[in-house]
A and B are shown apart, each in its own frame.
Chain A
Amino acid sequence: MSANHRNQIKRLVFTVRDADCTQCSLAIEKKLKGLDGVIKVGSSVMLNKLYVDFDETKLQLSDIEESIQKSGYAANLIRKTCVQPENR
């Protein structure tokens, strides 16, 4: 990955509601993983948080939000940060 490309990877953090069981978050994760440009998805049932690392050159925030909405759960974007790939 070129240094330039790296900067395009963003991490979104959402709070997800009504999805307090493992299967609910697994469902959202599965849906997002199907999108081209999504690099990593993770969720925490305990904190009701959803993390999405995606490539900004391939996808837009609205695509991700739409995909979450389609899975039937409500998500609230709380943070958007750059990903430092050397750390994870």
Chain B
Amino acid sequence: MAKDPVCGMFVDERTAKLTAQVRGVTYFFCSETCMQEFLAPEKELRTLKIGVLASVLLSFPILVLTYISLLPPSLTRYSLFAMESPIQFVIGWRFYKGTYNSLRNKMGNMDVLIALGTTTAWAYSTAVTFDSAAFIFHGVYFDTAAVIIALVLSGRLLEHYSKSRASAAVRKLADLQPTLARRIENGTERVVPVEEIRPGDSLVVRPGEKIPVDSIVIEGSSTVDESMLTGESVPVEKSVADEVIGATVNLSGILKLRAEKVGQDTALSQIVRLVEEAQVGKAPIQRVADRVASFFVPAVISVATASGLFWYFFGHIGLDFSLLAFVSVVVISCPCALGIATPAALLVGTSKGAQNGVLIKGGEYLEIAGKVNTVVFDKTGTLTVGRPSVTDIVPLDSIGQDELLLKAASAEVGSEHPLGQAIVKVAMDRSLNFQKVQHFEAVAGKGVRAIIDQDEILLGNKHFINENGIELAGSEALLTQMEEAGKTIVIMSINRRLVGAMALADTLKISAKPTVDELKDMGIEVIILTGDNPRTAKAISNELGIKTYFAGVLPHEKQGIIEQLQKEGKIVAMVGDGINDAPSLARADLGIAIGSGTDIARESGGIVLIKDDLRNVANAIRLSRKTLSKIRQNLFWAFAYNVLLIPIAAGALVPLFGAQIYGFLPFLAAGAMAISSVTVVTNSLLLFRFGTTTRMEGRG
């Protein structure tokens, strides 16, 4: 089975015409474009490697000949000229080409500086070689040009490796794309390439196989490993009507699926696209660096020229050292480290997020997430599971808990009301055997009436029970207490005699409490925003240890409250459902959408959490803070590097050590330049060590 390494499409090895061998592995391609896409960077890398090898090998004899007198001086000069010129113009051709592009686009770049620096050394040395009579000193600096080129190319090679390590995570994500699927065609299973799957197709996935595309389970049940997309290490149970995500792995049972989304629409494709496009949006912090980078080259050339002229006319260190001062300044300056400082950390940070189910849509969102000091949570469906469940079963008569529940659940079996369904669910969880219902009648907005074993069962709210003339007697106080805790009460009577009550509430997600605690530990204020009544909001806030809540807020008022908080100087992140809460997510400084399915691109908000785990809210903010501080570090070093080293190259140390330091300063300059961008990328790679929080217990 072969797979196109670029687009991930299935390619039949027997009929494939486009193949290529790279480092002993044969690759198959679906199209010319994909093959080119794959081979072009390989070819570039090869050229670069050859360039490094050749320039390093040729630099050695040049250095030997320069520093050890083996030949008469003039013959030495001619030999050096003959050895260096190929480095300068063949291996170094890329710098001239880059310079040409740069001038044509009126945007100075690295190549201009390297070409200018090395050409200066080469041209001066060539002039000395062919017309030594015209010069006082006969030293030539072919070695300087050669070593600069060798070092700069080595630096680029290292940079290439570190960059590909940084982008490996994105590639790995794209590589998850399955290639083949088992489709049921006229009752028989046939293995087909994933690209042929259409929505509505019936698929079979065996244990150990990847789910081919986003689908719905239509038969069977199993556990599925979703860790590659959500970061969730615990396998997820799947049964009929559940959604399964393409590229996740079926672990235990055979699943029959109906394909829902294919191609560009699958969750995986959307995630890959989102992560890639997140690299494009510019973080505000990067704009400064970009602006500096755009006038950097002319500025450096000016400084270099000024220092050369200064040393020649005022420093009297001679033409050669003055030129070397110029060369040192030009070569040491590194706009690349500045330019790459933000994108490198951003790429690693967003990839790390994607591995854990945190999708950050762009640098601007990451930057604001790193600065957030207030998190506003929508309550229903975000902090809570969004549907009621039974919290208390209170017998008020001689009846036992199980019997009370059994009668209530049997009466509610036919109910479509969420409260009724919640009662049925607990009974099923306790595997009670339901009783047969002779008569059932739902009274809208009030309750139900059912006949079981000739007993009349009434189940409903206070009004309903009152209306039917049932005395609540001494139980009022207990019921009110439960209501004050934000719970909904369902009261039950048998043959018009009060027997018990049940309290139901929308329960907190298990990740709610640990998340709130974690956010508070991070120094972030947590606020609840809900359309629910103040009583419920207060109960939930108390349980979570949250001081501020806004209750009874109508949907259109939510944005106003967020604005209010912003006016108080808070930087607000709003956490909610990416579709229903879209306006308030957009209003906040940062919207964090809790994913509700596989349609990730539809979710609004700058950050989308793929799995319904609130801890990722804290993770997203912590990761953003870490990444932002990495960006700042990178920018600081890149600026500091240039600010400190340019004056040294320009001759700040000459008064201390004399002009002789220009004998080796250009080498140091090139070496420093070569490692500067690698350092920035390597520093960014450290972000891969970021650990997500797994704490589940709240604080006391």
Residues of A at under 8 Å CB distance from B?
13, 15, 17-18, 20-24, 26-28, 30-31, 42-49, 51, 71-74, 76-78, 81, 84, 87
Tell me the complex Cα distance, A87–B156, Å: 37
Contact-residue bracket for chain B: 35 or more
Tell me the complex Cα distance, A83–B117, Å: 45
Set of chain A residues within 8 Å of B281, measured between Cβ atoms:
42
State whether B601 touches A26 (Cβ < 8 A).
Answer: no
Tell me the complex Cα distance, A24–B198, Å: 41
Tell me the complex Cα distance, A30–B312, Å: 39
Among A23, A49, A51, A72, contact of B104 (Cβ-Cβ < 8 Å)? A72
State whether B293 touches A24 (Cβ < 8 A).
Answer: no
State whether B277 touches A84 (Cβ < 8 A).
Answer: no
Set of chain B residues within 8 Å of A31, measured between Cβ atoms:
105
Set of chain B residues within 8 Å of A71, measured between Cβ atoms:
101, 104-105
State whether A81 touches B279 (Cβ < 8 A).
Answer: no
State whether B100 touches A72 (Cβ < 8 A).
Answer: yes
Contact with A along B74-113 (1 / 0, CB 8 A): 0000000000000000000010011011101111111000
State whether A21 touches B276 (Cβ < 8 A).
Answer: no
State whether A44 touches B279 (Cβ < 8 A).
Answer: yes
Set of chain A residues within 8 Å of B602, measured between Cβ atoms:
87
State whether B280 touches A26 (Cβ < 8 A).
Answer: no
Tell me the complex Cα distance, A74–B41, Å: 11
State whether A17 touches B276 (Cβ < 8 A).
Answer: no
Contact with A along B418-442 (1 / 0, CB 8 A): 0000000000000000000000000
Among B33, B280, B339, contact of A21 (Cβ-Cβ < 8 Å)? B339
Set of chain A residues within 8 Å of B343, measured between Cβ atoms:
22, 44-46
Which residues of chain B (241-277) have a CB below 8 Å from chain A? 264, 276-277
Is the C-beta of B290 less than 8 angstroms from some C-beta in chain A? yes
With A27-B105, A46-B279, A47-B276 known as contacts, the answer to whether A87 contacts B33 (CB < 8 A) is no
Which residues of chain B (314-368) have a CB below 8 Å from chain A? 335-336, 338-340, 343-344, 346-347
State whether A17 touches B40 (Cβ < 8 A).
Answer: yes
Tell me the complex Cα distance, A51–B108, Å: 22
Q: Is the interface of B mostly helix, strand, loop or mixed?
A: helix
Chain A: CB-nearest residue to B101: A72
State whether A49 touches B276 (Cβ < 8 A).
Answer: yes
Residues of B at under 8 Å CB distance from A?
6, 33, 36-37, 40-41, 44, 94, 97-98, 100-102, 104-110, 156, 159-160, 163, 166-167, 170, 264, 276-277, 279-282, 289-290, 293-294, 297, 335-336, 338-340, 343-344, 346-347, 601-602, 604
State whether B105 touches A42 (Cβ < 8 A).
Answer: no
Tell me the complex Cα distance, A49–B37, Å: 12
Tell me the complex Cα distance, A48–B307, Å: 36
State whether B36 touches A76 (Cβ < 8 A).
Answer: yes
State whether B40 touches A76 (Cβ < 8 A).
Answer: yes
Set of chain B residues within 8 Å of A21, measured between Cβ atoms:
109-110, 335-336, 339
State whether A15 touches B37 (Cβ < 8 A).
Answer: yes
Chain A: CB-nearest residue to B43: A17
Chain A: CB-nearest residue to B338: A22
Chain A: CB-nearest residue to B275: A47
Tell me how far the C-beta of B290 lies from the nearest C-beta in chain A, rounded to whole angstroms.
6
With A22-B336, A23-B107 known as contacts, the answer to whether A47 contacts B347 (CB < 8 A) is yes
10 new A-B contacts, CB < 8 A, other than A21-B109, A22-B335, A44-B343, are: A22-B290, A23-B110, A24-B107, A30-B107, A46-B340, A47-B167, A51-B280, A71-B101, A72-B97, A81-B264
- Please name the 5 residue pairs, one residue from A and one from B, whose CB atoms are nearest each other, closest first: A22-B339, A42-B280, A72-B101, A27-B105, A44-B279
With A30-B105, A47-B170, A87-B602 known as contacts, the answer to whether A23 contacts B100 (CB < 8 A) is no
State whether A87 touches B601 (Cβ < 8 A).
Answer: yes
Pick from A15, A22, A27, A73 the residue with the most CB of B within 10 Å: A22
With A76-B33, A78-B33 known as contacts, the answer to whether A23 contacts B277 (CB < 8 A) is no
Tell me the complex Cα distance, A63–B40, Å: 23
CB<8 Å pairs between A and B, sample of 15 = A20-B160, A21-B109, A21-B339, A22-B338, A26-B290, A26-B294, A27-B102, A30-B107, A42-B280, A43-B280, A46-B166, A46-B344, A46-B346, A72-B105, A78-B37
Tell me the complex Cα distance, A1–B277, Å: 23
State whether A24 touches B33 (Cβ < 8 A).
Answer: no
State whether B335 touches A17 (Cβ < 8 A).
Answer: no
Tell me the complex Cα distance, A15–B101, Å: 18
Set of chain B residues within 8 Å of A30, measured between Cβ atoms:
105, 107
